[in-house]
């Protein structure tokens, strides 16, 4: 395949993001549990982007092995995504420090100053998610090195605001640190648009899920390839007294059963059979192991096929390097100006 066409305009727009990540392209791979492991992460980094390991529920020994294995597949920068509510967070941070991980993405909440300082003490740059401009400013004050703003079009756990609105709110308000935009991005033209608005780069997850190097089950990939944007739906909450963390995934048999399971648990609470905490646990445990069932076992009917709305742009399985090259070609074309072939490729 020919080297991707870049342009002086593109190189100028994402120069800060490239410098921060240490990569050819300011394109991050979103951390997808069970999907963003050594093979896909290394492929993204080798292709010029920035791969991110999804630690998920891994313990410290498993994360240590995954980082080592990834480093064995690429000599280019990659990061690690850690969930703040993980019971072994301190141990996971220590592993990242011992393995000299350059960038740590903190997800699943707002990190404290202490946690940020601990990650930075291990030598890593800290990235985290900002849902509002006010919180973004607070996180910068606490010492984070970069921010990610992710809209509700994304797959998995989501917030209530669309990517385009978040970008308009936060990008003009933050210039002290690089800001990366995520959620619903599947083409290079969208990357170019957010770069024009002031983003340092973009993060894409769904677009890479069907990469050749992704270990996701063939049935999982086929579900993506067949899906349209409207098929990536948000989980339903049937009663505000029993909150459900919203998750975007492809609608399937389990989606319908989840609503029924909520109603049944709530009915048992109303009848006095169980207390409210027990009812909430029943609801929360419904999806336990469901993502693994879909990604690893290929059960796309009863598993959770998490996907962003950009899933409609995933039309085939293709090598990660080709995905990245296509995104760069599209972004360079959208930004206009003289185009040139990257001599590094």
Q: Is the pLDDT of residue 161 over 80?
A: yes
Rg of the chain (C-alpha set): 20
What is the C-alpha separation between 116 and 215, in angstroms, rounded? 32
Q: Is the pLDDT of residue 70 over 80?
A: yes
φ, ψ for residue 294 (rounded to 5)?
-80, -50
What is the topology classification, in CATH, of domain 5-216+315-341? TIM Barrel (3.20.20)
Q: Is the pLDDT of residue 344 over 80?
A: no
What is the C-alpha separation between 254 and 212, in angstroms, rounded? 27
What is the C-alpha separation between 187 and 257, in angstroms, rounded? 34
Helix-strand-coil split of the chain, %, nearest 5: 45, 15, 40
DSSP string, 243-256: ----EEEE--HHHH
- What local confidence, expressed as pLDDT, does residue 6 receive? 72
- What local confidence, expressed as pLDDT, does residue 339 receive? 52
Helix (H) / strand (E) containing 6 = strand 5-6
What is the C-alpha separation between 88 and 93, in angstroms, rounded? 9
The pLDDT of 94-114, averaged and rounded, is: 97
- Token readout for 330 is 């599209």
- What local confidence, expressed as pLDDT, does residue 151 receive? 98
The pLDDT of 141-169, averaged and rounded, is: 97
CA distances from 306 to 57, 262, 287, 326 (A): 17, 20, 12, 24
> Length of the chain, please?
345
As a whole-number percent, the residues of the chain with pLDDT over 90 amount to 91
- What local confidence, expressed as pLDDT, does residue 58 receive? 96
What is the C-alpha separation between 127 and 81, in angstroms, rounded? 9
- Read off the pLDDT band of 19 (50, 70, 90): very high
The pLDDT of 138-164, averaged and rounded, is: 97
What is the C-alpha separation between 174 and 107, in angstroms, rounded? 19
Location of structure tokens 């994360």:
63
As a whole-number percent, the residues of the chain with pLDDT over 70 amount to 96
User: CB of 95 within 8 A of CB of 64?
Assistant: yes
CA distances from 125 to 21, 132, 143, 193, 239 (A): 9, 21, 10, 26, 40
- Read off the pLDDT band of 295 (50, 70, 90): very high
Q: Give the torsion sign (CA, 324, 328, 329, 331).
A: positive
- Read off the pLDDT band of 341 (50, 70, 90): low
- What local confidence, expressed as pLDDT, does residue 285 receive? 86
- What local confidence, expressed as pLDDT, does residue 288 receive? 81
- Token readout for 240 is 């505000």
pLDDT digits (tens, 9 = 90+) for 302-327: 999 999 999 999 999 999 999 999 99
Q: Is the pLDDT of residue 194 over 70?
A: yes
- What local confidence, expressed as pLDDT, does residue 314 receive? 98
User: CB of 36 within 8 A of CB of 78?
Assistant: no
Q: Is the pLDDT of residue 3 over 80?
A: no
- What local confidence, expressed as pLDDT, does residue 206 receive? 98
- Read off the pLDDT band of 245 (50, 70, 90): confident
- Read off the pLDDT band of 173 (50, 70, 90): very high
Q: Is the pLDDT of residue 336 over 60?
A: yes
What is the C-alpha separation between 200 and 197, in angstroms, rounded? 9
User: CB of 125 within 8 A of CB of 219?
Assistant: no
- What local confidence, expressed as pLDDT, does residue 256 receive? 87
- What local confidence, expressed as pLDDT, does residue 275 receive? 95
Provide the residue ranges of all domains of the chain, joining segments of one domain with +.
Answer: 5-216+315-341, 228-306
Mean pLDDT of the chain: 95
Q: Is the pLDDT of residue 20 over 60?
A: yes
User: CB of 93 within 8 A of CB of 112?
Assistant: no
């Amino acid at each position: 395949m020919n080297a991707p066409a870049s342009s002086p305009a593109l190189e100028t727009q994402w120069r800060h993001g490239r410098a921060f990540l240490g990569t050819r392209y300011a394109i991050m791979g979103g951390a997808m549990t069970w999907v963003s492991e050594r093979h896909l992460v290394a492929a993204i980094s080798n292709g010029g982007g920035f791969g991110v390991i999804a630690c998920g529920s891994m313990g410290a020994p498993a994360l240590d092995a995954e980082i080592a294995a990834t480093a064995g597949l690429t000599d280019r920068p990659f990061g690690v995504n850690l969930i703040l509510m993980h019971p072994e967070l301190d141990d996971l941070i220590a592993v990242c420090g011992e393995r000299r991980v350059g960038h740590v993405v903190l997800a699943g909440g707002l990190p404290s100053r202490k946690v940020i300082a601990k990650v930075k003490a291990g030598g890593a740059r800290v990235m985290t998610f900002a849902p509002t401009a006010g919180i973004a400013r607070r996180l910068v004050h606490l010492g984070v090195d970069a921010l990610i703003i992710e809209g509700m079009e994304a797959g998995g756990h989501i917030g209530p605001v669309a990517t385009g609105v978040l970008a308009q709110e936060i990008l003009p308000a933050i210039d002290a640190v690089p800001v990366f935009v995520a959620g619903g991005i599947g083409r290079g033209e969208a990357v170019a648009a957010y770069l024009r608005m002031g983003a340092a780069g973009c993060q894409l997850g769904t677009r890479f899920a069907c990469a050749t190097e992704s270990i996701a089950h063939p049935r999982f990939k086929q579900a993506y390839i067949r899906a349209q944007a409207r098929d990536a739906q948000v989980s339903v909450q049937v009663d505000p007294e029993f909150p459900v963390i919203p998750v975007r995934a492809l609608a399937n048999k389990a989606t319908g059963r989840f609503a029924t399971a909520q109603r049944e648990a709530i009915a048992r609470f109303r009848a006095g059979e169980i207390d409210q905490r027990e009812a909430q646990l029943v609801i929360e445990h419904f999806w336990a192991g469901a993502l693994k069932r879909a990604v690893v076992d290929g059960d796309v009917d009863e598993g959770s096929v998490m996907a962003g709305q950009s899933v409609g742009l995933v039309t085939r399985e293709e090598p990660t390097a080709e995905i990245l090259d296509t995104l760069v070609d599209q972004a360079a074309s959208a930004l206009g100006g003289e185009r040139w072939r990257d001599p590094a490729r």
